[in-house]
Every structure is written in structure tokens, then in C-alpha cells.
Amino acid sequence: MEKQERIILVTNDDGITAPGIRALIEAVRPLGKVVVVAPDSPQSGMGHAITIGVPLRLNQVNIFEDIEAWQCSGTPVDCVKLARDKILHRKPDICVSGINHGANHSINVIYSGTMSAAMEAAIEGIPSAGFSFLEYSYDADFSLPAKVAREVTERMLASDLPAGSLFNVNIPVVEEKDFRGLRLCRQADAKWVEEFDERRDPHGKKYYWLTGEFKNRDVGEDTDVWALENNYASMVPVQFDLTNYKLKKQLEESWKDL
């Protein structure tokens, strides 16, 4: 029996015209049949949102040479759901999401549309990875992130990974000569200390603009934050099981009457 061609689903949260997704497509193009399903507009910070109550639109577009591509009116998670059910009609061999403009390390994984798209694929049992570049400029040079994405995707395709394996990969802004390679990490204990800047519009009505500062409370040298600060790309295996097993075990001892 002829071996079925590997299918690589590519998605993102910055929108189908973002430079990062083009870099990701070119990085993984040689590794299998690439199919793109991505939002028709930026969806950053959407987390695991899905569209309910309004119709979803899905249109085929011809913007990547020799690549089947579809734009969706919904969220990154909607894109993965529709890709699985209406376009591929089977599970892809792998799903890669990104390359995101900006960091998704540490606590950012909770809010990230990039990672939520990959997580949705992982929920379906598809090995998946989200890629983020710590550069926010629209015209950023994605050469290094593309090489990292290619290496990670190759490794994933060549490995016998458990169903639902999911990786959060972040790439630092660094000259290639100073780049120290890929490093397996854990998620740092860090968070945003947020404030809302109160302003007034020309009519005198109040509005608020979210601001904040990222604070790392973790001194470990095995974290994603440490790796990125030291010119490594961080690769964190993550999961969608949010059970706190340590606390559960503790309460089984102290709350024996339950």
C-alpha cells in the first residue's frame, strides 16, 4: 500500500497575511503537504475563544505559491476545528501555529491565540507546536525563527510522540552568530503586573487602556524566561490538563472526610 503523504496544518493568530505565517509556511514546506487555515484578521490575545451565535465564513485564497490556503472569519481555535472537519476530513500529521509577532512565554501561554490554536489540535490528538518571536515589528527578520520552526517540526515528525503532544516554542531577538540553540524548559513563574490607564475621549467620556510590566519571580535556570534572556530558544512541553495534582494529593490527606 502506498504511504499517505504527511499533512502539515499551518495556522496562526496574527492573520493570514502576517509575515510570520509566511515564514512558517516556507520553513515546513519541504516536510509534507502544507494546508493553511488562518484568521482573516488579527486575533491576538483571543486565548481559546470559539465563535458562537454568528456564522463562520471560510474562503479559499491564493496568496501562497502552490499552497492550499483558507481564511476564516473566526478565532484561531475555530480555524483548527474547521480545518479538521471541513477541509482535511482527517487529522493532519502535525499542526504548527505562528510564527507569532511577540512573546508567548511563561503566563502568556494562557492568553495566546497562537498557542490555543495548537492546543486545540493537541486536544484532537495531533502533535502540535506554537512558535513565537520576541520581536513585535511587522517587518521583523524571521530567518532565525524559521530555522528553529523547521528544526522543531522535523524533530516532531521523526519522533514517536504521544497523542496530544504540545510544545510552546519562543525565539529570542538575537544575531544568529550569538544564538545558542534550542533548550527544553519549564514555564517560568512570572506574570504581568497590570494597570489600566484612565483617559478621556474628545467628548469627555472615560476610557481605559491596558498597560503593565512583566515581572519574573522565578530564579531557576531551567525556565523559558531564563533561556530567552540567555540567547536560547525555549521549548516547553505543555498540556491542557489543568489539574493541580500536588494540591489534590495534599487535600486527600488533610480532607479525608470528603
Contact (Cβ atoms closer than 8 angstroms) between residue 28 and residue 5: no
The 8-class DSSP code of residue 248 comes to H
Contact (Cβ atoms closer than 8 angstroms) between residue 224 and residue 214: no
81 sits in the region (left: phi over 0; alpha: psi -120 to 50; else beta) called alpha
Quote the pTM value. 0.92
Give Rg (Cα) of the chain. Answer: 19
Could you tell me where the DSSP H helices lie in 57-124? 76-82, 108-111, 113-123
User: Model confidence over 13-46: pLDDT tens digits?
Assistant: 999 999 999 999 999 999 999 999 999 998 888 8
**Mean pLDDT (whole number) for 245-256:** 92
Q: Which residue in 7, 160, 202 sits closest to 94, CA to CA? A: 7
Contact (Cβ atoms closer than 8 angstroms) between residue 134 and residue 161: no
Measured CA to CA, the distance from residue 24 to residue 146 in angstroms comes to 6
User: Model confidence over 106-124: pLDDT tens digits?
Assistant: 988 999 999 999 999 999 9
